[in-house]
A and B are shown apart, each in its own frame.
Chain A
């Protein structure tokens, strides 16, 4: 089984996780820029983080034969902090990077005027830099937040098929699918979405234009929930081809719209000039 995790925050994970993910079949992933838990107080702190997403983290993933790509953006929560507003100005540099396959995570947290501004500005950047967009939906007031998200996406002029609206559930999935955008689901141990619920949604809404991720971040989360969901799909009567569509061909099709997805020569144990960091840091 080959797995492409379309949304996972590897910065928050250890090398043990990379090792277990590779063993479970994860061959490629996309790491979206997000909120780090601790508020950032300057633009420089963001650029250091973005540098890591296009520098160190792909190198680390490569040691385990996993191809790492990223999405870059000012996240909705920190879009409300005036100290971080300048991040929008440095984004064009990063959106041109080889490993950056979408603008994201953008969207709403508390649905403020500042979030409106950052969301619209970054959808415009996605169009200008010919990238798809990864849109986060809010934890609070989710249904209305999702409706408003669909409206803003439509107003932006970006093609809906170049947008994934993420963290959906039973209540919000239909509207997103009807809008023509991709439906994203983050499988968590306790919150957002679980493997059994995910399988039910796939039965009801089908396997097309669906991205299933583990999101695995610094909260209670599990980078192997993609595999667990895939196994449950098989146990529930889905075919190997259905699983391959959801966990490989769908993310490849979605992020492939960037023209920058690079999945050549993915081989376990990749190294540079015979070296690896598997022995530990120095």
Chain B
């Protein structure tokens, strides 16, 4: 999703608020500290498009309005002082921002939490910046937390032999305990096992 697509998906009243708020951020980047938390009250929290909610879209647009040299520092502070919804909005906006890999520590923080909203938001397109070991642990954490693996960006592309070994270990533990593993995780394990077999053959 590009910023203009997010803007187009918002209600007209939300667009008015966002346009005015973006003007304020252009004029004074520090204004985002007060506008960012207010966005949900002004624009609503309902779903709009492709898994985005109105407040997430509005907040992403505010971040996109920051001058390039302020993005990293403001993103860091907004995440640090954000409530769970604000943190999630920051995480979802990361792929849209000229921030390089400066947002990686935020992903690490989100993945350490036990809040499904944050762990889920950390595994979007920006997770391309995560090293393989961290990414695998995060995918496995999704399985533990009961998050659907469909939220993981480029899952099959990145899933590797090491992840297969980890999933197989979990499947074995679950079988021993008489507890099921989620169907999507079992499906991934089977796909990875099939790939491994084809490679051997």
Contacts and interface: CB of A to CB of B under 8 A. Distances in A.
A binds B: yes
Interface of A: 47, 51, 54-56, 58-59, 90, 92-94, 96-99, 259-260, 272-277, 279, 281-282
A93 B37 CA distance: 9
B56 to A, nearest CB: 13
Which interface residue of A99, A275, A279 has the most chain B CB atoms within 10 A?
A275
A275 B83 contact: no
Given A260-B41, A274-B146, 11 more contacts: A47-B81, A54-B84, A56-B113, A93-B81, A96-B37, A97-B83, A97-B86, A98-B83, A98-B85, A272-B116, A273-B116
Contacts of A96: 34, 37-38
Contacts of B114: 56, 277, 281-282
A98 B117 contact: no
Interface of B: 33-34, 37-38, 40-41, 81, 83-87, 113-117, 120, 141, 144-148, 151
A275 B147 contact: yes
B81 A282 contact: no
A260 B85 CA distance: 15
Helix, strand, loop or mixed for chain B's interface? helix
A275 B142 CA distance: 10
A282 B144 contact: yes
Contact of A279 (B41, B117, B146): B146
B41 A282 contact: no
A55 B38 contact: no
Contact of A97 (B37, B120, B151): B37
A109 B12 CA distance: 49
A274 B84 CA distance: 18
**10 closest Cβ pairs, A-B complex:** A54-B83, A96-B37, A275-B146, A282-B144, A55-B84, A93-B81, A275-B116, A97-B83, A272-B116, A59-B115
A97 B86 CA distance: 9
Contacts of A279: 146
Contacts of A56: 84, 113-115
B37 A272 contact: no
Contacts of A58: 84
A260 B45 CA distance: 13
A57 to B, nearest CB: 10
Nearest to B86: A97
A55 B81 contact: no
B15 to A, nearest CB: 20
Contacts of B33: 93
Given A59-B84, A282-B145, A98 B37 contact: yes
A273 B85 contact: no
A89 to B, nearest CB: 12
13 contacts: A51-B81, A56-B115, A59-B117, A93-B33, A93-B37, A94-B81, A96-B34, A98-B37, A272-B116, A273-B147, A279-B146, A281-B114, A282-B114
A55 B116 contact: no
Contacts of B120: 272-273
A62 to B, nearest CB: 10
Nearest to A54: B83
A92 B85 CA distance: 18
B120 to A, nearest CB: 7
A280 to B, nearest CB: 10
A256 to B, nearest CB: 14
B17 to A, nearest CB: 15
A275 B151 CA distance: 13
A46 B164 CA distance: 42
A54 B146 CA distance: 23
Contacts of B86: 97
B30 to A, nearest CB: 12
B145 A98 contact: no
A54 to B, nearest CB: 4
B1 to A, nearest CB: 19
Contacts of A92: 34
Nearest to A96: B37
B158 to A, nearest CB: 21
Nearest to A58: B84
A59 to B, nearest CB: 5
A90 B33 CA distance: 12
Contacts of B34: 92, 96
